[in-house]
Amino acid sequence: MHYEYQPQQTVRAQHGSTLRCKTWEAEAALRMLENNLDPAVSLVYDELIVYGGAGRAARNWKEYQTIVKTLTNLEPDETMLVQSGKAVGVLRTWPHAPRVLIANSNLVPAWSTQEHFDELDKLGLMMYGQMTAGSWIYIATQGILQGTYETFAAVADRHFGGTLAGTVTVTAGLGGMSGAQPLAVTMNDGVCLIIEPIDERVRQKVREGYLDEQARDLAHALELCEQYRQARTGWSIGLTGNAATVLPELLKRGYKVDIVTDQTSAHDLMDYLPEGDITAVLHLRADNPTEFRKQALASIMQHCQAIIDLQAAGAVALDYGNNLRGQAEKGGLKVRDDNGQFLYPGFVPAYIRPLFCEGKGPFRWAALSGDPQDILRIDRALLETFPDDKMLARWIEKAQAKVPFIGLPARVCWLGYGEREKFGLVINDLVARGEVSAPIVIGRDHLDCGSVASPNRETEGMLDGSDAVADWPLLNALANCASGADWVSLHNGGGVGIGNSTHSGMVIVATGTPEKAERLKRVLTTDPGMGIFRHADAGYDIAQRVAEERGVQIPGQA
């Protein structure tokens, strides 16, 4: 980690309107990198780990310092190249070209295994970027919150008469992103029991406001679940324990679970904590990685089997984590039916894909000023721009009431094709008129409508069988470069582990200038348009209809 280069002062994003870089675009990249590492935001600050097990913002502290220096000196017509967390070159390009191009964790397909990646990581040649960790657009748990909220709302509509009131959801994992599940369930008026092996992570989520209460033990947790189930009141309970132990115990007790899912880091066996005393487990990981992986896989299989068994007992089951089913399958557990379909579905094919077909996905923005009032002003503009969107209005109301600002103030909402361009121009106009006090960073998750190929999650069960076709995220990255994004990233393995996904990210900064307005129009049309291209090509009627209605040009489509 080259700790000798770790800054003496704790890294946090600079606030205000004073530039250290030569452009707001480079300054924005620097502040978002700093924001990713802010200890209030990141998972393991000293190791530059942001979230998702081992997702880093930079390869090590030496390379972090080089990136900072390079961004500070970057000319308005230069582009910095970042290879797996290391600045490797500066190119003379154009003022309208990206200021930063990032490639993280990418390996030639035949070598794209966790084992080969780990060897390169140990040699200091690569890092794992997850999705938004290594692309510097992470905004803490809120980043996936609305998507999680939309998912549970869809579950409520399909299975529980439009509300989760009176239901209990059981899930697991309280890492960086995982506070989204308990809060999303309670936003839909349900009760959530979430299991986490590390006690301090449970306490942290209670402090942050993503979790309502910590249970003393399982008996206390179930007592609380029943109390709030009977009251039909949204409430979330954190339990220190291991899902591989607790879920089978729920089955043994015959406890009624309405929904079962997970948000665990199972994509890398080194990040999944197996059953046992937590101190001993953490020592085992440090002292005997081989045995640790063996025990982790055994616990994953037990965890996954319990979800399948709870489904058989009547629970609605859905995968929401980081490749739990895929790892269990590698261990020999039967997780598919005779037709090759997973025994319980991922959240995207089950509940979210129709939104992807409309070009909808997680659109986010952050206030470079550091002033929460800038986000609240944009919230008002959002509701004024889309006055008839009742779901959006409900989301903003709940987000303002329940979602804390951590690090740079930020917001996320799901917007579709046409909506992103429209609202991006609204934000740019607010900057131009001085109604917000500094430029606004606009980006998204890599989990978006046209930016990811991930057969065990986002592209599971595609209509035409194109689950593993990775051309789409590659085209997405190229198209965003051509359209004028400010930084573009291309990663391997986010969400589900090395070799299991390819995905791309996009960021553009609303600086208030007419020139940036033109780029916003193009980028925020191009980017969601990739989702419509991808799903229309796969044969989805919704995407084909949206393309026709909104003038999306698809060669060969009548």
Which of 3.30.1050.10, 3.40.50.10730, 3.30.230.10, 3.30.460.10 is the CATH number of 141-345?
3.40.50.10730
| Confidence tier at 267 by pLDDT (50, 70, 90) | confident
For residues 135 and 159, the answer to whether their CB atoms sit within 8 Å is no
Question: Which candidate in 192, 225, 413, 449 is catalytic?
Answer: 413
What's the pLDDT score for residue 329?
A: 96
Residue matched to tokens 């998702």 = 52
What's the pLDDT score for residue 177?
A: 66
pLDDT tens column, 424-470: 999 999 999 999 999 999 999 999 999 999 998 899 999 999 999 99
Locate 158 and state its tokens.
Answer: 């399909």
Distance CA 35, CA 50 (A): 10
Task: With both helix axes pointing from N to C terminus, report the angle between 180-187 and 390-402 in degrees, rounded to the nearest 10.
Answer: 120
pLDDT tens column, 468-482: 999 999 999 999 999
**Beta pairing class for 410-415 and 55-56:** unpaired
**Beta pairing class for 191-196 and 168-172:** parallel
Distance CA 215, CA 236 (A): 10
Q: Is the pLDDT of residue 390 over 70?
A: yes
What's the pLDDT score for residue 518?
A: 98
**What string of DSSP letters covers 470-523?**
-HHHHHHHHHHHHHT-SEEEEEESTTT-TTS-EEEEEEEEE-S-HHHHHHHHHH
Task: Please state the rounded mean pLDDT for residues 194-221.
Answer: 94
Q: What is Dmax (Cα atoms) for the chain?
A: 66
Measured at the CA of 350, the angle between CA 379 and CA 490, to 5 degrees, comes to 65
Distance CA 129, CA 242 (A): 26
* Ramachandran category for residue 163: left, alpha or beta (phi over 0 → left; psi -120 to 50 → alpha): beta
**Beta pairing class for 440-444 and 487-492:** unpaired
Burial 95-113 (b: 16+ CB within 10 A, else e): ebbbbbbbbbbbbeeeebe
What's the pLDDT score for residue 490?
A: 98
Q: Is the pLDDT of residue 59 over 80?
A: yes
Distance CA 317, CA 170 (A): 10
For residues 152 and 190, the answer to whether their CB atoms sit within 8 Å is yes
Task: With both helix axes pointing from N to C terminus, report the angle between 372-385 and 419-432 in degrees, rounded to the nearest 10.
Answer: 130
Distance CA 55, CA 125 (A): 15
Host H or E run for residue 61: helix 61-73
What's the pLDDT score for residue 143?
A: 79
Task: Please state the rounded mean pLDDT for residues 53-71.
Answer: 96
What's the pLDDT score for residue 142?
A: 81
For residues 441 and 516, the answer to whether their CB atoms sit within 8 Å is no
Helix (H, G, I), strand (E, B) or coil at 158: helix
Using a 10 angstrom Cβ sphere, with 0-12 exposed, 13-18 middle and 19 or more buried, the burial of residue 511 is: buried
Computed over every residue of the chain, the mean pLDDT equals: 95
What's the pLDDT score for residue 31?
A: 98
pLDDT tens column, 131-148: 999 999 999 878 788 889
* Percent with pLDDT over 90 in the chain: 88
Distance CA 341, CA 456 (A): 10
What's the pLDDT score for residue 181?
A: 92
Task: Please state the rounded mean pLDDT for residues 299-308.
Answer: 97
What's the Cα-to-Cα distance from 280 to each of 68, 266, 553, rounded to whole Å? 38, 19, 58
Binding residues for NAD(+): 52-53, 130, 196, 201, 242-243, 263-267, 272-273, 320, 495
Q: What is the pTM of this model?
A: 0.89
Active site residue 413: yes
Distance CA 39, CA 507 (A): 23
Locate 258 and state its tokens.
Answer: 């309405």
What is the residue type of 526?
T
Number of residues assigned to the chain: 558
Distance CA 31, CA 25 (A): 10
Locate 139 and state its tokens.
Answer: 């905004």
pLDDT tens column, 81-127: 999 999 999 999 999 999 999 999 999 999 999 999 999 999 999 99
Task: Please state the rounded mean pLDDT for residues 376-405.
Answer: 92
Locate 196 and state its tokens.
Answer: 């986490």
What's the pLDDT score for residue 402?
A: 84
Q: Which residues pair with 444 in a beta bridge?
A: 363
415 phi, psi to nearest 5 deg:
-125, 150
What's the pLDDT score for residue 176?
A: 66
Distance CA 315, CA 307 (A): 9
Q: How far apart are the first and last CA of the chain?
A: 55
pLDDT tens column, 187-204: 999 999 999 999 999 999
What's the pLDDT score for residue 558?
A: 62
* Ramachandran category for residue 359: left, alpha or beta (phi over 0 → left; psi -120 to 50 → alpha): left
What's the Cα-to-Cα distance from 165 to each of 30, 154, 194, 235, 315, rounded to whole Å? 43, 14, 17, 10, 15
49 phi, psi to nearest 5 deg:
-85, 125
| Confidence tier at 167 by pLDDT (50, 70, 90) | very high
- Closest C-alpha to 33, from 53, 61, 5, 75: 61
pLDDT tens column, 503-540: 999 999 999 999 999 999 999 999 999 999 999 999 99
Q: Is the pLDDT of residue 42 over 90?
A: yes
What's the Cα-to-Cα distance from 442 to each of 20, 410, 425, 434, 439, rounded to whole Å? 20, 10, 11, 17, 10
